[in-house]
Amino acid sequence: MRYKLFTDMLAIVLLCVVVIGAGCKGGNIFGFQSTDDSNTGDLIVKGQGLLRDGKYAEALVQFNKAVSADSLNSDALFFAAKAEFLASGFSVVELLQDITTDFGSNGDVPIFSSTKVIGIKPVFTEVEQSKLLRTMTLILNRLQPIIDGRTTGNFTAEDVSLEAGIARTLKGLLSLRDTNKDGNIDDSDLNLGLVKTDNGFQLDLKTAIQTPQNGDDLNEVISDFCEGDQSTVKQIIEDLKASGLLDALGDTSIDLSTLEETIDNLGIDLLEYFVNTGTPGNKGIGDNDNDGRIDEEALDGIDNDGDGKIDEDSRLNLGNDGIDNDGDGTIDEADELLT
């Protein structure tokens, strides 16, 4: 009898060995870990364990390996994006409150500004802004294949749309600061502030545009953000709607309805600030703010036309050239454009 029990147990053990051995090639349901780092499922499990232990950078390494092993695995892509953000050290609640908070008249948006807003939060340095821009770019690179429906796995476009919308919002805002599009916000970019007023948003140009190329750079980042069906604004709103959470927020400190409205209004307001660089066909030629006047503002930080807005429909004035550029009989007045 004891002999038969031994042989039965041996058979069970051998069966387990076979099952576990077969499972090593593609993951197994009993949680035993494969030593083969090419296995996507095992890498994801390892990464999840590291996330639970708060080892975000180490988890990111595992998830990135999983993405390399299977670039269209939605689980690997989602958790890689999650670890990327957690490893960055930023707070999503704080970042979104920076955008949705009502700052009152002439309040700089903190995430965008290099000027401290009293009572809101400390200023972001350009190094921190650059880090956040790169982090959001990496997150979007991970989530976009899921949004596009090109992946397999547990996560669908609806599952990640809210995360994508938040990442796209933050990246889009900071892209307005990265005017030369090199991925870094530094002294080689135009120093812009974003100001929220009672009437909407205004760009606060803190360093002068010195060349037509500077003006074209500014026009391009504004266009990418808010002009056309492929603009950042349009994609953000689509992300937020696809998340299914705009009408069912639940208990959250993030007002997504306000965020959607704010981003939409921001896009409308920023279209006023295309700069007329003097190049035929550039986006600054025309009545950008729909007030019936064309190029009435000089790019000088002054409300030249007295309508309460500063530098909308801006002309680029590059100095004295001794020419009556606008044909009004006056030479080198402040609103002339160098041709």
First CA to last CA distance, the chain: 105
Domain boundary among 49, 66, 88: 88
Q: What is the pTM of this model?
A: 0.76
* 338 part of a folded domain: yes
* In a domain? residue 129: no
Choose the final residue of a domain: 88, 117, 152: 88
Domain that holds residue 332: 274-339
Residue 246's pLDDT band (cuts 50, 70, 90): low
pLDDT recorded at residue 13: 43
Average pLDDT score over the chain: 77
Q: Could you tell me the pLDDT band of residue 329, with boundaries at 50, 70 and 90?
A: low
Is the model's pLDDT at 339 over the cut of 50? no
Cβ burial 18-34 (10 Å sphere, 16+ → b, else e): eeeeeeeeebbeeeeeb
Dihedral over alpha carbons 26, 32, 38, 41 (to 10 degrees): 60
In-domain check, residue 242: no
Contact (Cβ atoms closer than 8 angstroms) between residue 162 and residue 247? no
Indicate if the pLDDT at residue 265 is higher than 80.
yes
The residues, any chain, with a CB within 8 Å of residue 101's CB and separated by 6 or more, are 120
Q: Is the pLDDT of residue 249 over 50?
A: no
Residue 148 lies in a domain: no
- The domain total for the chain is 2
Task: Give the separation between CA 157 and CA 147, rounded to whole angstroms.
Answer: 4
By the 10 Å C-beta count (0-12 exposed, 13-18 middle, 19+ buried), 281 is classed as exposed
Q: What is the mean pLDDT of the segment spanning 146-171?
A: 90
pLDDT surpassing 70 at residue 101: no
Task: Give the model's pLDDT for residue 201.
Answer: 80
Q: pLDDT: is 3 or 265 the higher one?
A: 265
Q: Where in 117-199 does DSSP place strands (E)?
A: 192-197
The most confident of 2-16, 32-46, 65-79, 167-181, by mean pLDDT:
65-79
Residue 235 belongs to some domain of the structure: no
Cα–Cα distance, 154 to 148 (Å, whole number): 15
Last residue in a domain, options 54, 88, 122: 88
For residue 139, what pLDDT is reported? 94
Q: Is residue 313 part of a domain?
A: yes
Q: Which of 2-16, 52-66, 172-186, 201-215 has the lowest mean pLDDT?
A: 2-16
At 165, is the pLDDT very low, low, confident or very high (cuts 50, 70, 90)?
Answer: confident
Question: Is residue 311 one of the residues assigned to a domain?
Answer: yes
- Looking at the predicted structure, is the pLDDT value of residue 119 above 50? no
Position 59 in a domain:
yes
